[in-house]
Amino acid sequence: MLTTRYVRDHLDEIKESLKRRRSDYPIEELVKLDSEWREKSTSLQELQAKRNKESLKIAELKKKGEDASEMISQMSGLKDEIANLEKELPEKESRIKYLLWNMPNVLDKSVPYGKDDSENVEIRKWGEIRRKTSKSHEDILNGLGLLDIERAAKVSGSRFYYLKNELVLLEQSLIRFALDELVKKGFTIISPPFMIKRDYYTGVTALGDFEDALYKIADPREASDDKSLERITEEMFLISTSEHPIASMHAGEVFSSKELPLKYAGISPCFRREAGSHGKDTKGIFRVHQFYKVEQFIFSREEDSWKHYDELLGNSESLYQKLGIPYHVVDICTGDIGTVAAKKNDIEAYMPSQGKYREVVSCSNCTDWQSLRLDIKYDEGGERKYVHTLNSTAIATTRTLVAIIENYSNDDGSITIPDVLVPYFGKDRIAKH
């Protein structure tokens, strides 16, 4: 995990990053605790050595039949000092560990300064906006009989949906298209576990900030008298992205530098409570509790990290270019970037019914933040270093479907299928039966 030595070695860099984040993280408390812990730990070792030495002297005096009462009396005070330190040090160590686990990643110097998402910076645009306005994707899909929100709300609650007929096939076409494109680029396809343990979730994200967004799996025996039910011995969470189980997959491992980079294309359902999103995007399938996503993930050597970051973002842009969806790329500012990433870019696709760009891709370089916590290293010439971890959305199906439906809708209510998806989908148009 992250160590106080790492903090001491990078203290100026960490302080500058926290300042740019406008973070109230208590770095001075951590520095003070670290100094006190090291000083008191040294004192404890010295006192323990003195106790051992004095104990030998007392034993020697007793062996000779000489009076050892004065030394025994002195030892009583020594034992009290040792006992106090043995109680104090674990308390300090516990607080240090808590602070280390909650430290934000060090920002890359290229991250623009800003207070929130309103100050993210557009860096480029791609594509011609063919339809400046359109019906909403929900209205278009309802007209074609391909979406049922009402019954999903009855069965599961808000932000769930039933996809039907051609819309299911279009979703599957998107997934296969994205996977095929990534396989061509040397990615290994991974279908990960859909649940992971708390210990690993704390390794891949700042769970204290993120836990409200996750679905937690309850122990079935807590709600039942049936003792035959298998007990869940550890807290489990449904994954919000395949990034998290893929990042955790190599926890505690050491690679040779020749094994890197490892490139994975994860495909999984994603489950998100969307806490804090009350009243936002309540219509349709743009912001939902469950969707499929193809995710890119790379374990990299430190020196290759930013090269692979550009690669991931380029791969994501290429997918949207091949789909013919207008988009722009934004630099995420210091006030919006979150705890884990050192740098983050979003791709936002143009949504005609809203007349604006909306997020469809997030690309992050987490540098060694996750690997320090998960203890993932590589050996380079006998020196062990922490890998860098990088991730980027390839395709999040529901949001990409929204972009396709609105950008490719026709005045007669039909939807034209992007050329690259026709071989997967089997026809070039969805029309009302």
What's the pLDDT score for residue 275?
Answer: 60
The answer as to whether 110 is a domain residue is: no
Tabulate helix, strand, coil % of the chain (nearest 5): 45, 20, 35
What's the pLDDT score for residue 383?
Answer: 95
Average pLDDT in the chain: 92
Question: Percentage of the chain with pLDDT > 70?
Answer: 95
SS3 at position 267: strand
Q: Is 288 annotated as ligand-binding?
A: yes
Q: pLDDT class for 69, splitting at 50, 70, 90?
A: confident
203: closest CA among 375, 341, 367, 344? Answer: 375
Structure tokens of 83?
Answer: 């006992």
Q: Judging by beta carbons within 10 Å of its beta carbon (0-12, 13-18, 19+), is residue 187 exposed, middle or buried? A: buried
Task: Return the amino acid letter for 328.
Answer: H
Q: pLDDT class for 42, splitting at 50, 70, 90?
A: very high
What's the pLDDT score for residue 203?
Answer: 92
Q: Is 273 annotated as ligand-binding?
A: yes
Q: Is 253 annotated as ligand-binding?
A: no
The answer as to whether 41 is a domain residue is: yes
Distance of alpha carbon 213 from alpha carbon 276, whole angstroms? 9
DSSP letter assigned to residue 130: S
The answer as to whether 132 is a domain residue is: yes
Q: pLDDT class for 209, splitting at 50, 70, 90?
A: confident
Q: Residue 149's domain is classified under what CATH number?
A: 3.30.930.10
The values of phi and psi at residue 344, to 5°, are -150, 135
Answer yes or no: do 315 and 197 share one domain: yes
SS3 at position 345: strand
Q: pLDDT class for 74, splitting at 50, 70, 90?
A: confident
Answer yes or no: do 392 and 423 share one domain: yes
What's the pLDDT score for residue 279?
Answer: 63
Distance of alpha carbon 235 from alpha carbon 217, whole angstroms? 7
Name the more confident of 120 and 101.
120
What's the pLDDT score for residue 55?
Answer: 83
Final residue before a domain boundary, out of 101, 127, 160: 101
Answer yes or no: do 336 and 247 share one domain: yes
Q: Is 183 annotated as ligand-binding?
A: no
Average the pLDDT over 339-364 and give the result.
97
Answer yes or no: do 186 and 72 share one domain: no
Q: Residue 23's domain is classified under what CATH number?
A: 1.10.287.40
Answer yes or no: do 49 and 140 share one domain: no
Q: Is 235 annotated as ligand-binding?
A: no
Answer yes or no: do 70 and 124 share one domain: no
- What is the tens place of the pLDDT at every residue in 255-270? 999 999 999 999 999 9
The answer as to whether 109 is a domain residue is: no
Could you give the angle at the alpha carbon of 263 between the alpha carbons of 203 and 303, nearest 5°? 75
What's the pLDDT score for residue 233?
Answer: 60
Name the more confident of 210 and 395.
395
pTM above 0.85, yes or no: yes
Q: Is 360 annotated as ligand-binding?
A: yes
Distance of alpha carbon 406 from alpha carbon 333, whole angstroms? 29
- What is the tens place of the pLDDT at every residue in 378-427? 999 999 999 999 999 999 999 999 999 999 999 999 999 999 999 999 99
What's the pLDDT score for residue 86?
Answer: 92
What's the pLDDT score for residue 3?
Answer: 85
Answer yes or no: do 82 and 154 share one domain: no
Whether residue 341 contacts residue 364, with contact meaning beta carbons closer than 8 Å, is answered with yes
Structure tokens of 234?
Answer: 């550890």
The answer as to whether 386 is a domain residue is: yes
Sign of dihedral through CA atoms 283, 118, 356, 291?
negative
Q: Is 393 annotated as ligand-binding?
A: yes
SS3 at position 218: coil
Distance of alpha carbon 245 from alpha carbon 298, whole angstroms? 13
The sheet carrying 343-351 orders its strands as 121-126, 327-331, 343-351, 356-365, 388-396, 290-300, 262-271, 188-190
Q: Is 242 annotated as ligand-binding?
A: yes
DSSP characters for 300-322? E-GGGHHHHHHHHHHHHHHHHHH
pLDDT of 75 above 90? no
The answer as to whether 107 is a domain residue is: no
What's the pLDDT score for residue 368?
Answer: 95
Answer yes or no: do 77 and 211 share one domain: no
Answer yes or no: do 273 and 384 share one domain: yes
Distance of alpha carbon 431 from alpha carbon 418, whole angstroms? 14
Answer yes or no: do 57 and 170 share one domain: no
For the chain, the residue count is: 433
The answer as to whether 108 is a domain residue is: no
Distance of alpha carbon 176 from alpha carbon 294, whole angstroms? 9
Distance of alpha carbon 87 from alpha carbon 101, whole angstroms? 22
Q: pLDDT class for 278, splitting at 50, 70, 90?
A: low
Q: Is 69 annotated as ligand-binding?
A: no
- What is the tens place of the pLDDT at every residue in 13-38? 999 999 999 999 999 999 999 999 99
Whether residue 346 contacts residue 362, with contact meaning beta carbons closer than 8 Å, is answered with yes
Question: Percentage of the chain with pLDDT > 90?
Answer: 80
Q: Is 359 annotated as ligand-binding?
A: yes
pLDDT of 206 above 90? no
Average the pLDDT over 364-381 and give the result.
96
Answer yes or no: do 79 and 227 share one domain: no
Answer yes or no: do 288 and 416 share one domain: yes
Average the pLDDT over 297-315 and give the result.
98
Whether residue 409 contacts residue 140, with contact meaning beta carbons closer than 8 Å, is answered with yes
The answer as to whether 29 is a domain residue is: yes
Q: Is 272 annotated as ligand-binding?
A: yes
What's the pLDDT score for residue 61?
Answer: 77
Final residue before a domain boundary, out of 101, 127, 151: 101
Distant-in-sequence, close-in-space partners of 196: CB < 8 Å, separation ≥ 6: 236, 237, 239, 244, 245, 248
Q: Is 391 annotated as ligand-binding?
A: yes
Q: Is 329 annotated as ligand-binding?
A: no
Q: Is 420 annotated as ligand-binding?
A: no
Distant-in-sequence, close-in-space partners of 325: CB < 8 Å, separation ≥ 6: 127, 349, 350, 400, 403, 404, 407, 418
The residue segments making up the domain with residue 20 are: 4-101
Q: pLDDT class for 131, splitting at 50, 70, 90?
A: confident
Distance of alpha carbon 394 from alpha carbon 402, whole angstroms? 15
What's the pLDDT score for residue 228?
Answer: 58
Q: Is 317 annotated as ligand-binding?
A: no
DSSP letter assigned to residue 146: -
Distance of alpha carbon 284 from alpha carbon 304, whole angstroms? 41
Count of the separate structural domains present in the chain? 2
What's the pLDDT score for residue 231?
Answer: 58
